[in-house]
Amino acid sequence: MQEALHPTYYPAAKTNCTGCGRVMEIGSTAQSMTVELCSQCHPFYTGKQKLVDTAGRVDRFRARAAKAEADAKAKESSSTETETPESDSAAPTTEERLAEMKKSLEQKS
C-alpha cells in the first residue's frame, strides 16, 4: 500500500443521531458525523410508522388521485350514455369484431 494515498481511518469516530440524541462510536474515515435516523429511532426497526408530510406532498397526491378517479368515473358515465342498447349484451368476440370490420370496409369500397 502506498503511503499518504489513503484517507485516515478513525476506529472510534463519534456519530450523533439528531432523531433520538444517541451517540455512537463507529469506524470511519470522518472523525465525527451526524445522522438523521439511527437503528434506535428508525421506524423500520422500532415498528412505529411516522407519516412525514414534506410541504403537503401526501395531500397533493391524494387530491390528484381523487381527481383522476372522478375523471375516470365521469368519462365512463359519458361513454355509457352514448352507447347503443346493443352494448348491454356481452362484449363481441374477436372474430365478431373482425367480421364487422370486414363488412364496413366492403361497404366503403
pLDDT digits (tens, 9 = 90+) for 12-70: 999 999 988 999 999 999 999 999 888 888 877 777 766 666 678 888 889 999 999 99
* Residue, of 91 and 9, whose pLDDT is higher: 9
pLDDT of 83 higher than 70: no
Cell of 87: 352494448
CB under 8 A, 24+ apart: contacts of 15-20: 17/41
- From the centroid of its chain, how far is CA 94? 36
Q: Is the pTM of this model over 0.75?
A: no
Give the DSSP per-residue string, 17-78.
ETTT--EEEEEESSSEEEES--TTT-HHHH-------GGGHHHHHHHHHHHHHHHHHHHHHH
Structure confidence at residue 2 as a pLDDT band (50, 70, 90) = confident
